[in-house]
Chains A and B, each alone.
Chain A
Amino acid sequence: MTELAVFDKQIRRAKAILEGWGGAVEHLQVPFTTREEIESFKRRVGLAQRKEGKPTIVMAEDTAVELGHPRDTSINLVLWTFNPELIEDRTIHLYGPDLDKTNGARLPYAQIILLALKKGFSVDPFSLESAQFLSNRLPGYMVRMLPGRLWVRVSRQALLDGLNFSVLGGALIAAYYDDFPGVEKAEVAFVTAGNDMVKEFVSIAAETKIIAGNNKKLTLVGDGEYECEDLNCDDCGEREVCDDIRDIIILRRKGKKE
């Protein structure tokens, strides 16, 4: 596997943006340090193990808060480094209203995850990125994603059950610890303060995309996720397109089990 590219420069820039907002940014510490505390936290918030969640759909009528709706700005970033000094472990930054203070609202949304990886840790960058969605892993939390966009619905019941950014950040951090043994530190930032604030991360997202594009040239492995693309076209000139789509179906069906 090719060595992972890292995002040290982009992490510094993301942190500089957060620091630039000064006292407006709330800093929270996740309530776990030991393995037992992580397990207890997961049970309390209902965080499912990877591949054990159920497909979640939250309809508009059941939605308490909507983040990053297609008509609003949204950005999602996962940035990693091998330099642990860049990451404040188990820290959550929040700029803007928390979920429990935004009942009924539709807000722009940035979700930024910063990870310190153990030296020499090698991983498929696509799986590092896809873990950020917590797809089907939190009750009452529906997430839909396009490259660079993240659309979240939080159900009324989830809000009543105590879902807020502290819980969501904790769940993301716990998920990264659980899913990737090479994750040494994890830090999360949420921005709901406004479109302009979310847009401050656009240039970082663009840079990341280019760098991640290089990363994604790696071969993805496991259970025949990708078949050989060297196909023989028989009668239909679009055979390759259809085969590619079959691959996508496999990817999705596997994803639904996660």
Chain B
Amino acid sequence: MKSIAVSGKGGAGKTALTAMMTKVIIGKGTPGKILLVDADPAGGLAPALGLSVEITIGNIREEIIRSVRKGGRKTKAQIAGAVDYKIMEALAELESFSFLAVGRTETDGCFCPVNDLLRDAIEILLKDFDLVIIDGEAGLEQINRKVMRSVDSLIIVTDPSHRGKRTAAGIKDIVETQRLMKSDQMALVMNRIKGAVGLGEEAAREVGLKLAGCIPEDENITRYDSMGKPLLELPEDSPGVVAVQGILENLRIN
């Protein structure tokens, strides 16, 4: 199983990149089963793919905490069996890919063991897929706690803003020093480039990462987003989609 996680500053274009990677990979007819995980509590990937989510991992987490609070040994045994049922129920299985949303956490408190419990169940599920793409949030905690602790490729997305690059450098630092997430390769994607050639290389040097590629400002993406149209339906020759093809080739993902 190959795995890719996408991280970066909020609004940098993680979800658009994830959706376009999915489009390119599916379009190439890559054999195997693909799982997309929306690990951003904001839950933007589902609409970008044209899906509506009924059950999230967050919902299951709440249900577990509620059930355990009710207490009783019987409940423990029942929950142990029920976790797989609920995860399977939360999995949206489509023709080209499957989808799982992490969703929001509503109950205050850490409840770390719940995350362990859910990650155990998710890890069993992941084994059945050939490719897992995770759309994360700026921090990697959601992915680490609720989905998986190591990925093959970690793609950090930034826009040309100073804040975007600082966030990218911060994520790189967290991965390298705090070992929050293990990855075989880590690379930068520069999004919303306008004209200036070399801006991507410059940003990559600044952040200290390999440049996977640049995505130009793409009017189609802006238009599709504003219309609520799935990015999977972007034209093949849309500049963003063409750029993502190159990024996947550079990373030897596809």
Chain A positions near chain B (C-beta within 8 angstroms): 55, 57, 59-61, 70, 126, 130, 133, 144-147, 149, 151, 213, 216, 220, 226, 229, 236, 238, 241-249, 251-253, 255-256
The verdict on B80 contacting chain A, using a C-beta distance below 8 Å, is: yes
Q: Is the CB of A246 within 8 A of B113?
A: yes
Tell me which of B81, B83, B88, B124 contacts A130 (CB under 8 A).
B81
Q: List 12 A-B contacts (CB under 8 A).
A: A57-B127, A59-B98, A144-B89, A146-B85, A147-B78, A238-B109, A241-B111, A242-B113, A245-B117, A247-B76, A248-B80, A252-B117
Q: Is the CB of A241 within 8 A of B85?
A: no
Q: Is the CB of B111 within 8 A of A245?
A: yes
Q: Is the CB of B117 within 8 A of A151?
A: no
Residue pairs across A and B with CB atoms within 8 Å: the count is 95
The verdict on B121 contacting chain A, using a C-beta distance below 8 Å, is: yes
Residues on A with C-beta less than 8 A from B73 are 216, 220, 226, 229
Taking A241-B68, A241-B69, A245-B114 as known contacts, 12 extra A-B pairs with beta carbons closer than 8 A to each other, sorted by chain A number, are A57-B125, A61-B93, A130-B81, A146-B81, A242-B114, A245-B64, A245-B111, A246-B113, A248-B79, A248-B117, A255-B80, A255-B81
Q: Is the CB of B125 within 8 A of A249?
A: no
Q: How far is the CA of A149 from the CA of B76 in the complex (A)?
A: 17
Tell me which of B74, B80, B82, B124 contacts A213 (CB under 8 A).
B74
Main SS at interface, chain A: helix
Residues on A with C-beta less than 8 A from B69 are 241
Q: Which residue of B lies closest to A142 (CB)?
A: B88
Which of B64, B71, B82 gathers the greatest number of chain A CB atoms within 10 Å? B82
Cβ < 8 Å to A, chain B residues 30-85 = 33, 64-65, 68-69, 71, 73-74, 76-85
Q: Is the CB of A244 within 8 A of B68?
A: yes
